[in-house]
Chains A and B, each alone.
Chain A
Amino acid sequence: MDMNEIKEIFFQECEEQLAELESGLLKLNDGDRDPETVNAVFRAVHSIKGGAGAFGLDDLVSFAHVFETTLDCVRSNKLEPTQDVLKVMLKSADVLADLVSASRDGSGVDESRSRGLVKELEALAHGEMPSSSAHEAPKPAAKAAPAPKAAPAPAPAAKAETPKPTDDSGFQPIPFSFDGFGEDEEPAIEGSVYEVSFKPRRELYSKGNEAALLLRDLSRLGEMSINCDTDALPALDKMDPEASYFSWKISIRTTKSEDDIRAVFEFAEWDCDLEVKLAEEASSNEELPMVPVPFDLSILDDSSASDEDEKAVQSSADETVAAAVSAAETATSVTKAASRASEKKESAAAAAAAAAQNNAAAAAAAAGQTIRVDLDRVDRLINLVGELVINQAMLSQSVIENDATGTSAVNMGLEELQQLTREIQDSVMAIRAQPVKPVFQRMSRIVREVADMVGKSIRLVTEGENTEVDKTVIDKLAEPLTHMIRNAVDHGIETPEKREAAGKNPEGTIKLTAKHRSGRILIELQDDGAGINRERVRQKAVDNDIIAADANLSDDEIDNLIFMAGFSTADKISDISGRGVGMDVVKRSIQALGGRISISSRPGHGSTFTMSLPLTLAVLDGMVVTVAGQTLVVPLTAIVETLQPEASAIHSFGANQRLISIRNSFCPLVDVGRVLNYRSTQANPVEGVALLVESEGGGQRALMVDAIQGQRQVVIKSLEANYTHVPGIAAATILGDGRVALILDVDAVVAASRGQSMKPEMSLAATG
């Protein structure tokens, strides 16, 4: 593995850390004060800094260092994470993300912005509150600064020094020799005595850290004596050689601060119990037999670095640090992967079979093995599996044609093949399934930035961010979602003054929700703004010749006008106090994903955009049906039941509507052939089959088709990519006999049947 590959892995890990950082900061912003959340945030920045230092990414290191120092103040309760403080931190997280991107792609960053934030962060670390909140946070920042008798130069002075960005590797300085005490001037002269209690846990060692090296580094801070507590050590035959039994009480006289002492353990902090305090006058440790630590430990350095040059020692230390960071991060991602895996019920059966013989400990160890795989390879596998599914269907079909009884050995073998193909496919799909969380997190940045730009105060609330969906869907979702979020912030939510005048909270709320519904993912974007100004939308539509001046439109229809192409040609966007900026583009993007988008709006209360997307773009379970001589596929997830209508159950309603009576309730009957313009007159329901479907709106419809051919898994081929979007049709597929069949967009057909008539050009009679 060459350096570039390692660097690439570092950047991938940075992305994970940035996501952790943002989600942690948002939790804090929501009032979460769990120390573990603060730790997670700190860890994220710290890990980025550590890795960046190893690659010599100085800009990134410097910024991360300042950021980390301020976060450390929060962590040690010296800085209260108020909303204003968090605002600075969230912005800093954005800049950190930019710096990571810049380091990766060589792109530029807004230097004035990052310089500004460095100043703000440093000010926070010095205890200066952001100006806007000065009145609400009069508490001095350094409230927890110890004021030891023995150390007349206490922590505040040390704190004032720490925020300085380091100019080289970026790590907290850990001196390598004791010669330079005088030069490396700290305010205290004689130094203070600290008592350190250090009890490593097993994880400390398993992550590649070594207690002896930590103690060595600690010994370099001053004059140290140590007592090793071996009481926990079991008998030789009962011990686990890889467990941790020793713990230490250390007494160290040093001119350094408590922070410097803690810095020695910073990469192992979460894997040990560490206590650092100034020694009391009557030290409890005096009772323990303390062994003075040899002053010259250079021999220990020599053994860990082949080159005796101090620089080499430093670089080796850096590598160790990077390795430790990477190990820690791997452990984190492993944990995440393990938790994701446990949620995945579709792969649970296969996993359970494989793991059945292992005990829990072995399973946990197995879960610790993850690999990073290039997405292209997974895509290739998915394509191949798609072809395999088609091929298997073709094979099945030709065998069935030649073996009417279905009892031959070939036929039996084929059934097994079908089963296996299915399992392979499920497993491959599970590889691609990802939570929508990263996309949602990106949105919070957009909300922050746009809100800042337009001078609004807006909170983004997310729900269901762990809902999983195919990675392709996630990737393509970001763009339309960004567009919509921008719109919601810019046009949806009112200015604080207007909101106050309307009796609302001056802070607006945008809610982003993801959930699974009937085999699809439903994403809702809700704002509590003013809602759509229908008068104006209608007027715009008339002005732009989208509708006739006397058109009789329902509220829903007016709202949905904003998705019409041409609507966004409005001369000045901000004239429309609702929305309407390029929503046709959004709609097209969603449609290209095989999805739908709709809007509902309540004047004064806000608008809700609902997007429904397929979970995967690769395959679906479908019912193959015949309509007017054409073969269509209806997604199985939409079908509730199928029934053979009887003449007595069919009732006419209005001019050309029909209802079917199912178990004492009436359900509108929709002739698919008619809606798709396959035929000019409605077919006789009694001669066909009714598929009871549930649309996303929740209502049920009975779709009339001529006959059911069977159920089958089909590989989805995009119609948009290969032909063009066709209303009423979601995609196409290749059947076992090699023919192309269209996959029905059930909701679009249902919507069309409700009178939202489809345009004449959607007629498929000619294309089928």
Chain B
Amino acid sequence: MAAKKAGPASVKLAAVLDLNEASNLHGKLVSMRGSDIVIDASGVERVGVQCAQVLVAGVKAWEDDKKSFLVEKASDAFQKTMQLIGINHENLVAKEI
């Protein structure tokens, strides 16, 4: 359980979260299962639905793992897009169990 001791892992989201980025992001999240995670959304300029899907699936997976999944420093574009597509922003930003 070395991962636990190492503290939360962090992922900085790319500026453009489009179709091409969805697979990358998915791969990153899958490889980080099991540890707490902090998602840095400060540099996000554009969010596509497919990346949002990956993030929501991530939140659910981390919930199941009883680990924390924290989206912090969400950029305005990130927040507004999530709101636009009807994803409850609160669910993404702080979900610590």
- Counting contact residues on chain B (CB < 8 A from A), the size range is 20 to 34
Q: Does B29 contact A (CB under 8 A)?
A: yes
Q: Does B74 contact A (CB under 8 A)?
A: no
Chain A positions 306 through 335: 1 when the CB is less than 8 Å from some CB of chain B, otherwise 0? 000000000000000000000000000000
Q: Does A4 contact B (CB under 8 A)?
A: no
Chain A positions 135 through 166: 1 when the CB is less than 8 Å from some CB of chain B, otherwise 0? 00000000000000000000000000000000
Taken together as a complex, chains A and B put the C-alpha atoms of A216 and B50 apart, in Å, by 16
Docked complex: B41-67 residues within 8 A CB-CB of A: 45-50, 52-54, 56-58, 60-61, 64
Q: Does A505 contact B (CB under 8 A)?
A: no
| Known pairs A210-B18, A299-B76, A300-B46; A239 contacts B54 (CB<8 A) | yes
Residues of B within 8 A of A244 (CB): 49-50, 53
Q: Which residue of B lies closest to A227 (CB)?
A: B86
Instruction: Out of B47, B49, B86, name the residue touching A200 (CB < 8 Å).
Output: B49
A-B contact count (CB 8 A): 104
Minimum Cβ distance to chain A for residue B53 (Å)? 5
Taken together as a complex, chains A and B put the C-alpha atoms of A210 and B85 apart, in Å, by 11
Q: Which residue of B lies closest to A303 (CB)?
A: B45
Docked complex: B17-33 residues within 8 A CB-CB of A: 18-19, 22-23, 25-26, 29-30, 33
Taken together as a complex, chains A and B put the C-alpha atoms of A241 and B86 apart, in Å, by 19
Q: Cβ of A212 and Cβ of B85 under 8 Å apart? A: yes
Instruction: Out of B19, B48, B76, B84, name the residue touching A226 (CB < 8 Å).
Output: B84
Minimum Cβ distance to chain A for residue B61 (Å)? 4
Q: Cβ of B85 and Cβ of A236 under 8 Å apart? A: no
Taken together as a complex, chains A and B put the C-alpha atoms of A503 and B84 apart, in Å, by 68
Q: Which residue of A lies closest to B26 (CB)?
A: A241
Q: Does A206 contact B (CB under 8 A)?
A: yes
| Known pairs A236-B60, A241-B22, A303-B45; A228 contacts B50 (CB<8 A) | no
Instruction: Out of B19, B23, B57, B80, name the residue touching A236 (CB < 8 Å).
Output: B57
Q: Which of A15-23, A289-297, A615-623, A657-665 contacts B (4 or more CB under 8 A)?
A: A289-297
Q: Which residue of B lies closest to A239 (CB)?
A: B57
Q: Cβ of A233 and Cβ of B53 under 8 Å apart? A: yes
Docked complex: A217-272 residues within 8 A CB-CB of B: 219, 226-228, 230, 233-237, 239, 241-246, 248
Minimum Cβ distance to chain A for residue B76 (Å)? 5
Docked complex: A172-229 residues within 8 A CB-CB of B: 200, 205-206, 210-212, 215-216, 219, 226-228
Instruction: Out of A234, A241, A245, name the residue touching B25 (CB < 8 Å).
Output: A241
Q: Cβ of A242 and Cβ of B19 under 8 Å apart? A: yes
Taken together as a complex, chains A and B put the C-alpha atoms of A227 and B86 apart, in Å, by 5
Q: Which residue of B lies closest to A208 (CB)?
A: B19
Q: Cβ of B49 and Cβ of A211 under 8 Å apart? A: yes
Q: Cβ of B18 and Cβ of A236 under 8 Å apart? A: no
Q: Cβ of B80 and Cβ of A215 under 8 Å apart? A: no
Taken together as a complex, chains A and B put the C-alpha atoms of A233 and B50 apart, in Å, by 11
Q: Cβ of A210 and Cβ of B53 under 8 Å apart? A: no
Minimum Cβ distance to chain B for residue A209 (Å)? 10
Q: Does A304 contact B (CB under 8 A)?
A: yes
Residues of B within 8 A of A234 (CB): 57
Instruction: Out of B61, B80, B86, name the residue touching A300 (CB < 8 Å).
Output: B80
Q: Cβ of A205 and Cβ of B19 under 8 Å apart? A: yes
Q: Cβ of A297 and Cβ of B84 under 8 Å apart? A: yes
Taken together as a complex, chains A and B put the C-alpha atoms of A294 and B84 apart, in Å, by 7
Taken together as a complex, chains A and B put the C-alpha atoms of A637 and B75 apart, in Å, by 72
Docked complex: A34-51 residues within 8 A CB-CB of B: none
Interface centre among A211, A230, A297 (most CB of B within 10 A): A230
Minimum Cβ distance to chain A for residue B33 (Å)? 8
Taken together as a complex, chains A and B put the C-alpha atoms of A138 and B76 apart, in Å, by 56
| Known pairs A294-B80, A300-B77; A212 contacts B49 (CB<8 A) | yes
Q: Cβ of B60 and Cβ of A291 under 8 Å apart? A: no
Q: Which residue of A lies closest to B44 (CB)?
A: A303
Q: Does B13 contact A (CB under 8 A)?
A: no
Q: Cβ of B58 and Cβ of A236 under 8 Å apart? A: yes
Q: Does B11 contact A (CB under 8 A)?
A: no
Q: Cβ of B49 and Cβ of A299 under 8 Å apart? A: no
Instruction: Out of A245, A246, A299, A304, name the residue touching B85 (CB < 8 Å).
Output: A246
Minimum Cβ distance to chain A for residue B48 (Å)? 5
Taken together as a complex, chains A and B put the C-alpha atoms of A291 and B45 apart, in Å, by 22
Minimum Cβ distance to chain A for residue B11 (Å)? 13
Q: Which residue of B lies closest to A214 (CB)?
A: B49
Taken together as a complex, chains A and B put the C-alpha atoms of A582 and B15 apart, in Å, by 69
Q: Cβ of A228 and Cβ of B80 under 8 Å apart? A: no
Instruction: Out of A206, A291, A303, name the residue touching B46 (CB < 8 Å).
Output: A303
| Known pairs A205-B19, A236-B58, A299-B80; A226 contacts B49 (CB<8 A) | no
Taken together as a complex, chains A and B put the C-alpha atoms of A299 and B77 apart, in Å, by 6
Q: Does B93 contact A (CB under 8 A)?
A: no
Instruction: Out of B29, B47, B60, B80, name the residue touching A297 (CB < 8 Å).
Output: B80
Residues of A within 8 A of B45 (CB): 303
| Known pairs A212-B84, A293-B84; A304 contacts B49 (CB<8 A) | no
Minimum Cβ distance to chain A for residue B69 (Å)? 11
Q: Does B81 contact A (CB under 8 A)?
A: yes
Taken together as a complex, chains A and B put the C-alpha atoms of A226 and B49 apart, in Å, by 14
Minimum Cβ distance to chain A for residue B73 (Å)? 16
Docked complex: B80-97 residues within 8 A CB-CB of A: 80-81, 83-88
Q: Cβ of B53 and Cβ of A246 under 8 Å apart? A: yes
Taken together as a complex, chains A and B put the C-alpha atoms of A215 and B49 apart, in Å, by 10
Residues of A within 8 A of B49 (CB): 200, 205, 210-212, 244, 246
Q: Cβ of B46 and Cβ of A233 under 8 Å apart? A: no
Q: Which residue of B lies closest to A206 (CB)?
A: B19
| Known pairs A205-B19, A206-B19, A248-B85; A239 contacts B80 (CB<8 A) | no
Q: Cβ of B19 and Cβ of A304 under 8 Å apart? A: no
Residues of A within 8 A of B77 (CB): 299-300, 303
Q: Which residue of B lies closest to A219 (CB)?
A: B84
Q: Can you show 22 pairs from A to B with CB atoms below 8 A apart?
A: A205-B49, A206-B19, A210-B48, A210-B49, A211-B49, A212-B49, A215-B84, A219-B84, A226-B85, A228-B85, A235-B61, A235-B64, A236-B29, A236-B30, A236-B61, A237-B30, A237-B33, A239-B57, A241-B25, A248-B86, A300-B46, A303-B45
10 further A-B pairs in the complex, CB-CB below 8 A; given A212-B47, A230-B53, A304-B46:
A205-B19, A210-B48, A236-B58, A239-B26, A241-B23, A242-B23, A246-B49, A291-B88, A294-B83, A297-B84
Give me the 10 closest cross-chain CB pairs, A-B, nearest first.
A228-B86, A241-B26, A236-B61, A303-B45, A226-B86, A241-B22, A236-B57, A211-B49, A303-B46, A241-B23
